[in-house]
Every structure is written in structure tokens, then in C-alpha cells.
Chain A
Amino acid sequence: MFTAPWVCRSCSRLLTQPALRAQFIRGYSTSNGAVSLPTILLQRAQKQRAEHAKLSSTLSTGDFDPKTAKRAGELASVANALKEYEEAKASLAELQALLESDDAEMREMAKDDVEPTTAQLDAAAKKLSIALTPKHPFAEMPCLIEFRPGPGGLEGRFFTDALFKMYQLYCDRKGYRAKVVKYELSDQAGSASGHAGEQPLQEAVLEIEDAGSYDIFRGEAGIHRVQRIPTTEKNGRTHTSAAALWVLPSLQESAGDLASDFNNPESDFYVDPAEVKIERMRAQGAGGQHVNKTESAIRLTHTPTGIAVSMQDHRSQQRNRDAAWTLLRSRLAQKRRDDREEQARQLRSSVLAKNQVTRGDKIRTYNYSQDRCTDHRSGLDVHNLPDVLQGGDGLDRIIESVREVFIQNDIQAAIADEELAASQLEKKGTK
């Protein structure tokens, strides 16, 4: 009857009672009636179009400045989307006028056209609101995904390894270039082994080298919770443990962008070498020709923030050092960005704060006995856990749903920012 092998009783009851279905099932796409685009967003779009027009006129008179050109390029999409939106709106208004005409034939024709035009307007509004949403500054970058088991022993470590393999397989399937930067096992395992060859993972870092992968995976950051019966459990009890994922922007050296130049103190990726403590494996005794240590571990500590990175994956010390610096830069950049976002959030109305998920919240649950994977932000349930863990279509659906939620949140945040700016302007005016 169902594709899923197991459905809980309350769900199956809901599914068999069609009248109740619409009422209780939560849609993961929380489309908020795009036709009624908030006026505040429209005003913003108009403002940006005016700016675009001004910029392009300066550009066409021959005053070429790469900064202006870049800004104009960013605004062009807004201007285009707004044009499309206004056209769609105008044609809808025209149709509305025709509907009221006396000619029956005309009315009939207009009636047929209303639906596609409304759909067009809908699409244009959506496009406009996406164009208006400020792009995440790291969106174009490749990313690093860091995996770490939560507290709670071996079971969490095994599950972290399952997650690591899940993302590796997912990247394989989607054709992303994924590179293992760090894969460190814990030696506490003893003879225990996890489900399906899982290793006790201590810490791992996966680099996805495709540009724009940060935008794809940024929704994956947070606490992933697992509910299953561990292989080490003798009494068949289900345990709950967790793994933490961080998604960090990765800096590619070829990117000549000013903001991503890590030698520039203004950049998020800038790290003052004087603030970093470097520790290397020290040879005992005299060193030099006297010994031949294969140990190539290196540990960097950023003293102001206390962020520490250690790396020992490669035999080459230089490779380890480069990898450690990259990771340190990415972590610092993410932290700086998070701090800024936190500040911005506090300025906004508290309504939005509820929607924002911080690092400490669990974002997803993998329940083995119910064969279910639930994302807590989009509310999407996927009832084929093995497929999800193999990085299959199920995971695709989850990632897609989270991205949708993120876009909605970003739009709302943009509206809130606009309202905030307007109210501040008003306050100034009344004073």
C-alpha cells in the first residue's frame, strides 16, 4: 500500500481520512502567497532599479570602474525581475478590465487567460523576491564539512562515520569533487564495530571543491541526532546520540576577489600570523640526523578566540600545515560571519528569532527502527533511511527542502531589515 515499509498509526489514520489530510499534514514549502508581494519589498526593488539606472548611465558615459560595474551587475537581476513583475501585473489588470466588459466573447477569452497570467505573476514575484534577498557572502565558495561526534561514547562516533560516508556517497552521485582533508579515528573502540563497517570517527573534514557548494550544504550544519539500537547494546534498547556538523567556507587561492584575499586584513579570512601559536611534534633527544620520526602532526591555536586546529593526515609536514591553515581561516571566517549575523538578528524584530536555528539545536533525526529521517526545520519526513544514508534521492529531497526554508527565511529577514530601516527613518523624521 505504501512505499515505506512502516508507517506509524496516527500517520496511517490521517492518510486514510482524506478530509483531514489537508488540515494536518504540514507542507514543507511554506510559500507565502507570492502574488501579494509586500509593498516594502516592492519599494526596495524600485529603489534598487533607480540605482541601477544611475549606475548604468555612468558606466555608459565611459567612467568604467570595476566596483561600479560589479554593483550594476548585481542590481541588473533585480531590475529585470521587477520589469517582468510589472509587466505581468499590468497584463493581469488589463484582463481584469476585460472581464468587466459587455462583450460576452471578450469576457470568455479573458477568463481563459487569467489563470496562466496569474501563474506568470506568481513566478515573477517569486523571482523578484529571490533577487532582492541579499546573497550569502560565501555562497559562491567551495566548502569544508567538519564532522564531530557528540558526547556519549562509541555509538556517536560510529554514527558520525555513517554521516561522513553518506555525504561522500552523495557527492559521488551528484558529481561533486569531494576530498578527504582529515579522517581521524579514535582508538578506544577495542573490538567493537558499528553497523555496516562503521569506524569510530574522532574527527573528519570533507572538502567539496565545487564553487557554490557552500550554498548547497550550508543548511546541513547543526546537530544530527540518531535513534537506533547500537551494535554494542545487549538488551535491545534504543539509544539516542548525536553528531555535530559544521559547514565552513573554503578559500581557493585562485580566487582573486578582494573579500576572499586572506592577506587583506579587511577580509573575513584574514588571520594575523602573530596571533597563531604553532606546535609541532618535537623529536626527543638531539633531532636532525639522529632520529627519523615519521610524525608530521601540526597544531595551530588562534590565541584570541582559542580555536585550535590539528592535522596529521599527510606524511608531508608542509601539506599538513597548509591544510591546517586553510581550516583555521575557514573556521574564523565562519565565526566572524556568525557573530555578525547574530548582531543583525538582535536588531530585527523578535518574530524572526524563532525561525532561526542556531548551532546548538538539533536539525535532523535519523530513526533506524522507524526507517525515517526527519528534518526539523522543513518538517519533511523521508521514509527510506537506507536510501538517505547511501546519499540517494531521499537526501536530495531533504537538502532541497532545507534550502527552500532558508530562502524563505532570508526573504523574511530582508523584509524585516527593510521595515526596521523604514521605522528608523520615521523616528528620525518625527524628532
Chain B
Amino acid sequence: MPRLPPSLIWRARSISPHAATLLPVCRDIPSALTELRWIREHVESTPSPTHPASIRLDQLCKRRGKGIPLQYVLGTQPFGSLELQCRPGVLIPRPEPEAYSTHLGHLLLANPSLIPLPPSKTLRILDFCTGTGCIALLLYSHLSSPSSPLQRLNITGVDISPLAISLSKLNLTHNISLGALAASTQDKSISFIQSSIFSPDWMSEAQDAKCDILISNPPYISPRGFNTDVARSVRNYEPKLAQVPEPQHTHHPYSQKEGVRQEDIFYARLLDIGAVQRPTVMLFETGGMDQAKRVVEMAAEKLGVDEWKMEIWRDWPDGRPEEEEETAMRIDGLGDVKVKGSGHGRSVFIYRRK
């Protein structure tokens, strides 16, 4: 990271000493002032009887200045219409999952024919590696709204970390108490369970366990990429478990499989589960266009292209592509694959042909 010029630090200090504290992590004055305002708003909106506001502001700025993510400092992150609690040990929700979950929600509501379902049957959604529960909760908020044509809905969030499961449960009750979510009813429910994606339970062919939508934001960064591409604050303060698939954590046979890179292990497993459970729609987050292409190839090989269709969604699936961004991508043995939106290749969308 380049050194900050002292003149910049002096300028920040002359505006506010807190701005200078935040400068090393924000890198420029406008964003330092913006974060300072958010911290100040947070302190003002949560008055504490024991600690004066000025001391709390001081403490929070110091913690943020050390590089601790703002979401851990403030304890929350807005996500769509929700407000999610964030705790160290659970990955912070990013804006990209917000974009593709919202897009998927709108897509499902606009084209009910995407999932042909008799009205009496329950739509089941499985969200692996749910973390704070962000994707599951946002989909629940879209699909359980009164305007939704869905009668019955069941969403399950799965994570291996007990910390994540307790946090996601907390987020559910927190958002219900805020009025951002409807409480679970018999017909529309959401739950979180602790389990490993490599548990044999997920390969059962029992009819009642099958899901209609499989969605996941799995760990997808290679050990090398973790050291080179990941931002320092993420590397130091966010859980590595949520980012790098590590064989010793998961002891599964996939790590020995031929031709599967370590960062793609979870996709191999997700596609295996998909082949057994046969959902109608699958959506997996990926770490860039190259990985997205690899996942499309893996899916084509595993599931076949006669029955399934694949799309790659960029960071902002509903955005207009920039001039240099292609709207289709040629993949060997598959032909053209549609690429939607603008930004990096962020997710792979797989759905069954009619």
C-alpha cells in the first residue's frame, strides 16, 4: 500500500482529528469524512447511559482506523431492505450478493413459469454457506411479500459454522422486530441449520428433502489468491473459512479428484448435490469471469446441456453493459453462453429448460 503523504494527513487533521484517524484505512479525505459521518450517526442513534458520546466516537474511530471493517465496528450492514447484524467470525455481506439476490427475486416474481409448481406444493430453497443469512433472508423478504403469487415457501440456510447459524437466527428475529420481514407462518417459513455441505445427508434421494432452488455463496478463493488478491482488512479480520476452501477443514474426496482446483471444490460438491436433488434453478457466486467459465464447463459436464441452460451474471445483473463488456461468451463444446449486466463475472445461473 503506498504511503500517505503527510500533507494529506495534515489536511484531514485540520478538518477533524477523527478524519485523520480514519485516513489510513479510507485512503482519501472524502471517504474518511463519509465514514466519520456514519460513525457519528451510529453513536447518535444508539445513546448509551454509561458512556458519553464523544468517548464512544473516539473509540469507534480508533478501532476503524486500525483496519477493523466498518461493519464490525458498527455491528450492522444494510442489505437490500434489511439490516443485518455483523459479528467477527462471520463474513460481512457484500453488495454483489445483494444485487444478484434482488435480481433473482424479481426474476422469480416476474416469471412464475421459471419454476413450474402446482399451487399446493411448497417452493423449497436451500442456501448453502449462508453466513449472516443474507441471501436467504433477502429472498424470503421478496418471496413472502403479499404481492408474491407464491402460496407456500420454505427456505433453509445451511452453514458449517455455529457462529454463523446463531447470527443468522439473530438476524431473522432482528429484522422481524424491525418490521422488515414477516414472521414465519405455517405456509411461509425460513430456518437455519448447522451442517456441512459435505455431509451425506444432502445426497439423499428422499422426495421430501428435495429443493427447487439451490443457491450458494461458497468459499471460492485459492490459497495463492488469498495472499495476493484479498484486501488486507478482509484478510486480517474476516474469517478465512468463508473464503478459502481448505482440505483439512472439510476432509472430503473432492480434493483428490482429478482436474478440480482447490478453489472450485465447493462447486463440484454443489453440482453433485444438484444432480441428485434436481432443482429447477441454481445460482452460485464466483470470484471472477475465469472461475465463472470453469463453473459453467463443470456444470455442462456434470448435468448435460440438453436439459440445462447456463448464464453468467456480472456484478450488477440489471445494469447496462459497458462498451467493452461482452454480452455473450463462447465456451468450448457448449457454444455461446449469455452474459448479463455489467462488472466482473460474479455468478453462474443454471436453470432447467422447459
Asked if A187 and B287 sit within 8 Å, CB to CB, the answer is no
A317 touches B288 (CB 8 A): no
Picked from B81, B231, B319, the residue with its CB within 8 Å of the CB of A290 is: B231
A278 touching B33, Cβ below 8 Å:
no
- Mask, A281-311, CB within 8 Å of B = 1, is 0100111111111111000000000000000
In the complex, A191→B70 CA distance in Å?
Answer: 27
Q: Are A286 and B288 in contact, CB atoms less than 8 angstroms apart?
A: yes
> Do B229 and A290 touch across chains, with their CB atoms under 8 A apart?
yes
The answer on a CB contact under 8 Å between B70 and A294 is yes
At the interface, yes or no: B80 with Cβ under 8 Å from chain A?
A: yes
Q: Is A349 in contact with chain B by the CB < 8 A criterion?
A: no
Q: How far is the CB of A100 from chain B (nearest CB, A)?
A: 74
Contacts A187-B15, A315-B38 given; does A286 touch B78 at CB 8 Å: no
Chain A interface residue number, banded: 20 to 34
CB nearest to A284 among chain B residues: B231
Interface centre among B229, B286, B319 (most CB of A within 10 A): B229
Query: In the bound complex, do residue A289 and residue B98 qualify as a contact, i.e. CB atoms below 8 Å apart?
Result: no
A317 contacts which chain B residues (CB < 8 A)?
78, 95, 98
Cβ–Cβ contact A286 & B319, under 8 A: no
Report B215-246 residues with CB < 8 Å from chain A CB. Answer: 217, 219-221, 225, 229-231, 233-234, 238, 242-243
Known pairs A187-B33, A287-B346, A289-B242; A315 contacts B234 (CB<8 A): no
> Most chain-B Cβ atoms within 10 A of its Cβ — which of A187, A296, A314?
A187
B133 interface contact, C-beta 8 A: no
* B11 proximal to A (CB < 8 A): yes
Is B287 a contact partner of A278 (Cβ separation < 8 A)? no
Count of inter-chain pairs, beta carbons less than 8 A: 96
Give Cα distance in the complex from A290 to B230, angstroms: 4
**A292 in contact with B14 (CB, 8 Å):** no
Closest to A320 in B: B78
CA distance in complex: A185, B79 (Å)? 26
Verify B343–A282 contact, CB threshold 8 A. yes
Q: How far is the CB of B61 from chain A (nearest CB, A)?
A: 14
Say yes or no: A295-B31 contact (C-beta < 8 A), given A288-B346, A319-B78. Answer: yes
Question: Is A316 part of the contact surface with B, judged by Cβ < 8 Å?
Answer: yes
B92 part of interface (Cβ distance < 8 Å): yes
In the assembled complex, the Cα of A315 lies from the Cα of B38 at a distance in Å of: 8
Q: Is A43 an interface residue (CB 8 A)?
A: no
Q: A residues within 8 A CB of B217? A: 289
Is A189 in contact with chain B by the CB < 8 A criterion?
yes
Contact status A290-B221, CB under 8 Å = yes
Q: Is the CB of A312 within 8 A of B34?
A: yes
Q: How far is the CA of A187 from the CA of B233 in the complex (A)?
A: 26
Contact B78 A318 (CB under 8 A): yes
Q: Kindly supply a per-residue 1/0 record for chain A positions 189-211, scoring 1 wherever the CB is within 8 Å of any chain B CB and 0 otherwise.
A: 11100000000000000000000
The reply to whether B96 and A287 contact each other, CB–CB distance below 8 Å, is yes
Q: Does B316 contact A (CB under 8 A)?
A: yes
Per the 8 Å Cβ criterion, residues 301-352 of A in contact with B are 312, 314-319
- Tell yes or no: B212 within 8 A of A by CB: no
Q: Are A288 and B94 in contact (CB under 8 A)?
A: yes
Evaluate contact between A292 and B34: CB separation under 8 angstroms: no
Which residue of A has the minimal Cβ distance to B221? A289
Instruction: Given A315-B77, A318-B78, A318-B80, check contact A289 B344 (CB 8 Å).
Output: no
Do A187 and B30 contact each other (CB < 8 Å), given the known contacts A277-B320, A319-B78? yes
Complex Cα–Cα for A215 and B350 (A) = 53
Say whether B287 contacts A316, CB under 8 Å: no
With A190-B14, A294-B35, A315-B78 given, is the CB distance from A286 to B343 under 8 Å?
A: no
CB distance from B234 to the nearest CB of A (A): 5
Distance between Cα atoms of A191 and B12 in the complex (Å): 10
Q: Which chain B residues lie closer than 8 Å to A286 at the CB level?
A: 225, 229, 287-288, 344
Inter-chain contacts of A280 with B (CB < 8 A): 316, 319
A-B contact pairs, 11 of them (CB 8 A): A278-B319, A287-B96, A288-B220, A288-B346, A289-B91, A289-B219, A290-B234, A292-B92, A294-B31, A315-B77, A318-B78
